[in-house]
Amino acid sequence: MNSVTSSLPSADQKGIEHRCDVLIIGSGAAGLSLALKLADHCNVIILSKSDRNEGSTRYAQGGIAAVFDEHDSIEDHVADTLNSGAGLCDEAAVRFTAENAKDALNWLINHGVPFDTETNEDGEKRFHLTREGGHSHRRILHAADATGEALQITLNDAVSAHPNIQFLERYNAIDLIKSQRNKRGCNGAYVWNLEAAHVEVVRSRFVVLATGGCSKVYQYTSNPDVSSGDGIAMAWRAGCRVANMEFNQFHPTCLYHPQARNFLISEALRGEGAQLCHPDGTRFMHRFDQRGDLAPRDIVARAIDYEMKRLGADCMYLDISHKPADFVIKHFPNIYKKCLSVGIDITREPIPVVPAAHYSCGGVMTDFNAKTDLDNVYAIGEVAYTGLHGANRMASNSLLECVVYAAAAARHIMANLDNTCSHEPIAPWDESQVTDSDEEVIIQHNWHELRLFMWDYVGIVRTNKRLERALRRIQLLSQEIHEYYAHFRVSNNLLELRNLVTVAELIVRCAMARKESRGLHYNVDYPDMLPTPAPTVLRPDEHDQHTEPGSLST
């Protein structure tokens, strides 16, 4: 039943063809969880664009939401998520996720993820639960303030020890290989070997996109460099629908310091009493929302952005210095150390913070099995649109979504292992018509231009005119990049730029289609919410997608 994971000479005698049952593109919480759930039943290849630890999971600080407190309930978790999603969540998806949350957490616990514990008044040990914005109860399991790192290390250790899992590190997926016999089928992927600087083939019976989000499309982001929207762009080019790309979450509190690029200040600080304030110490969140500092992220990010622009300030401040120093250091040791390393003692002074692009609430459309529009292609984690997040992701639902939908995908793949097998030939990668580029500066220039105008025109606050300008610039860049891609050998920077300009266009077209302001999408020209909200869905058509990505349906 199972094929053998192997590396064989390809038809052109220059490349390599790898074979497996399941190709997982991405090595974060979603991809690693799925690999572990499948590996006893089939052979798996995990593709990692950089080091296997270098993804968004590693940098997640807060934790994972699930109902463990006897005073909490699944209904409350569902209600909080729906409320944070600003009326645009798929309630069935929210309920599916919340109902499977505890099983997902117990699976992680059984694998040894070291969630923090405490001793209650009766001397019994239990998990320490914290609270974050949008949650009505303490329901966040965490490992100090570095939950993602603990999760990444634990899952990586388990994956590395499994004989049926092969890791291909420093490989960047280029495109899915569509079946010539079945237009809804896929035979694997073309991949770029960064070390050898050539293209290889991975032939697989199933392909899973677990590539994370696309926040690198913005000039300022909390995400690592690998978050360039690769999975979304590949799925779009292969014919999959995408949805709700206009909802990109800007984390309200990233450390503002020239020596602290991309460092996130966890929302859990506000959950434990930290207060947002002006440079003079005046609190302001109560003027924007009755929940004050515990309002959902979209409201907090817009409030900080508004106050910065109103006052002409470079940043706002987050103050937890009124809490006992030992409490702060115990609960937030990594944030304490990082801030101290740049001269900020958070037990004595406030933290300078600014918003930054953080999380993509839209993505490749999937069902409850994590399956896309293609027969044997799945998407899990931030790359996917499941309907869970709606117009605004609630804190600590993201890692949860990764593990819940990894389990769903594993069940569906295992149920169909005997039904999916293709022996059709795969054409080798053709470089006969291209040459090496001597104009790498063009890629760098386009990369910086794209990210800058996306921040200026398609950021926290938008207007129709800004969106129109952004789209015109994207179309010109798309043409340049398409021509460059057609004439020169691929490189990692070119592949990422090609994907970024694709997701940028998807974001802008979704934003232009939404004639209202809701959640993370705020348009000055449409400040009110519509009475009957619906997701924004983009559908690929048969036109050349680098200039016309698809028809819109809202």
**Tens digits of residue pLDDT in 116-129:** 999 888 888 999 99
Task: Tell me which residue of 28, 31, 33 sits closest to 55, measured CA to CA.
Answer: 28
Q: What is the mean pLDDT of the chain?
A: 90
Q: Which secondary structure element, helix H or strand E, spans residue 477, and what is its range?
A: helix 464-487
Q: pLDDT tens digit string along 430-481?
A: 776 777 776 778 888 999 999 999 988 999 999 999 999 999 999 999 999 9
Q: How confident is the model at residue 349 (pLDDT cuts 50, 70, 90)?
A: very high
Q: pLDDT tens digit string along 492-525?
A: 999 999 999 999 999 999 999 999 999 999 999 9
Q: pLDDT tens digit string along 44-75?
A: 999 999 888 777 888 777 899 999 999 999 99
| Lookup result for tokens 């992701």 | 393
Ranges assigned E (strand) in 194-340? 198-209, 242-243, 248-255, 275-277, 316-319
CB count within 10 Å of CB 423 equals 6
The percent of residues in the chain predicted with pLDDT above 90, rounded, is 74
> What is the per-residue pLDDT for 263?
86
Distances (CA, A) of 27 to 33, 51, 52, 369: 9, 9, 6, 20
> What is the per-residue pLDDT for 545?
45
Q: How confident is the model at residue 15 (pLDDT cuts 50, 70, 90)?
A: low
Q: Decide the pairing of beta strands 363-365 and 384-385.
A: parallel
Residue 466 bears catalytic tag: no
Task: Tell me which residue of 195, 190, 156, 262 sits closest to 50, measured CA to CA.
Answer: 195
| DSSP-assigned beta bridge partners for residue 8 | 17
Statement: residue 482 has pLDDT above 70? yes
Contact 190, 360 (CB under 8 A): no
Contact 534, 261 (CB under 8 A): no
Q: How confident is the model at residue 309 (pLDDT cuts 50, 70, 90)?
A: confident
Statement: residue 543 has pLDDT above 80? no
Statement: residue 199 has pLDDT above 60? yes
With 0-12 / 13-18 / 19 or more C-beta atoms within 10 angstroms meaning exposed / middle / buried, residue 502 is buried
Q: What is the rounded CA–CA span in Å between residue 443 and residue 481?
A: 8
Task: Tell me which residue of 141, 168, 199, 140 sits closest to 35, measured CA to CA.
Answer: 168
Which of the following is catalytic: 19, 95, 131, 297? Answer: 297
Q: How confident is the model at residue 486 (pLDDT cuts 50, 70, 90)?
A: confident
If you ran DSSP here, which 8-state letter would residue 5 be given?
P
For the chain, the straight-line distance linking the first and the last C-alpha, in angstroms and rounded, comes to 43
The percent of residues in the chain predicted with pLDDT above 70, rounded, is 94
Q: What is the rounded CA–CA span in Å between residue 526 and residue 530?
A: 9
> What is the per-residue pLDDT for 226?
86
Distances (CA, A) of 331 to 131, 154, 257, 266: 13, 21, 22, 11
Q: Which amino acid is at 225?
A: D
Statement: residue 375 has pLDDT above 70? yes
**Which residue segments constitute the domains of the chain, with CATH numbers given?**
15-56+166-247+359-406 (3.50.50.60), 64-149 (no CATH), 254-356 (3.90.700.10), 440-528+537-549 (1.20.58.100)
What pTM was estimated for this model as a whole?
0.88
Q: pLDDT tens digit string along 239-291?
A: 999 999 999 999 889 999 988 777 889 888 998 999 999 999 999 999 999 99
What would the mean pLDDT of 337-365 be, rounded to a whole number? 96
> What is the per-residue pLDDT for 14?
57
If you ran DSSP here, which 8-state letter would residue 147 be given?
H
Statement: residue 418 has pLDDT above 60? yes
Task: Tell me which residue of 252, 213, 513 sits closest to 361, measured CA to CA.
Answer: 213
